[in-house]
Structure 1
Amino acid sequence: MKPWIKKTLMGIFGASIAVGGLTACSSSHSHRGPVSAEKMAEMRAKVVERVGSKLDLNDAQRAKLNVLADKMEAQRAAFIGTTADPRAEMRAIVAGEKFDRARAETLLDEKTRAVQTSSPEVIGALADFYDSLNPEQQNKVRELMQRRKGWLARG
């Protein structure tokens, strides 16, 4: 595979993980503002426990799942950045008579760089976790993804 295709696919995969993580972590809480560190830790523990119980993970697999959760959390934090209010940034872009293209491109570059920087670590952690699963567990992951629009989907 050509290097630019591989990098593009990794970037897209990383962005989808980041967006999925943001959506999962903020879906029911978006109207109340950013999720607190305590609430994030609570949600993460629930997701790890749910995945662990559904796949009947052993201790080594749970450890790899926790590493994956750490990497995804770090990627999410890098994606969000240090901006206290991301909506304020978007309001600033459209505050004037003209759309602030330069500011929008800077914001996009910042978010893209954050995803590209941490995606290899997230992909590596995901691969390590998935590869640690036995064939039965891997099949269960595939079935859950097929049936429920993702293996972490609610319902």
Structure 2
Amino acid sequence: MKNWLRTTLVTLFGFSLLSGLLAGCSRDHHADWSADDVAKVRDRIAGKMDLDAAQTQKLDALIAQLQVLRSDIKGTSNDPRAGFATLITGDTFDRNGAQKLLDEKTSALQQDGPQVITALADFYDSLNPDQQRKLRQKLERHKSWFGH
């Protein structure tokens, strides 16, 4: 196969794969979650793990930190694909725009990440050994991409 043809096919395949991954990962299943929806999920987790009041407070703190992280990473855009779409509107890929988008997301993660880690550690450390085992088993059963 000619070198230019192979390069073109590999580039097209790579672009297709990248755009498919970005489209799949950017689907926002939980975009419209109300406070009631979050409370229902929290109550379901607390019930399945038999959490006491102190553990439920730590779970609430973790959920709050995750919501802050998610909103900061999402930014002001309501369409998660819009940022990527602007990178490919011209004749060439906007490398500077891509780097700026990456820097924004990375900055949000670096800013909020330590608080999420602390909240997660506080929650996990508050669990008794049986609850920790249940959590590990649950994660083991769903170790594929987000349980899908």
TM-score range, shorter chain: 0.7 to 0.9
| Alignment match, 1:62 | 56
CA distance in 2, matches of 1:43, 1:104: 34
User: Following superposition of structure 1 onto structure 2, how do residues 3-152 of structure 1 map, counting pairs within 5 Å?
Assistant: 26-27=28-29, 35-36=31-32, 39-149=33-143
Higher relative contact order (CA 8 A, sep 6+): 1
Q: Unpaired segments of 5 or more residues in structure 2?
A: 1-24
CA distance in 1, matches of 2:100, 2:89: 16
CA distance in 1, matches of 2:39, 2:91: 46
Residue 86 of structure 1 aligns to a residue whose secondary structure is coil
CA distance in 2, matches of 1:56, 1:95: 51
Larger radius of gyration: 2
Residue 85 of structure 1 aligns to a residue whose secondary structure is coil
Q: Unpaired segments of 5 or more residues in structure 1?
A: 1-22, 30-34
Report Cα offsets for 1:68-91 as digits up to 9, x if no partner: 000000000000011233322222
Report Cα offsets for 1:49-80 as digits up to 9, x if no partner: 12101100001100000000000000000000
Moved over 6 A (4+): none
Q: 2:52 corresponds to which letter in structure 1?
A: N
CA distance in 2, matches of 1:78, 1:110: 9
Residue 81 of structure 2 aligns to a residue whose secondary structure is helix
RMSD, aligned CA = 2.1
CA distance in 2, matches of 1:40, 1:123: 24
User: TM-score by structure 1 length?
Assistant: 0.71
- Deviation for aligned residue 1:153: 4.5
CA distance in 1, matches of 2:132, 2:72: 29
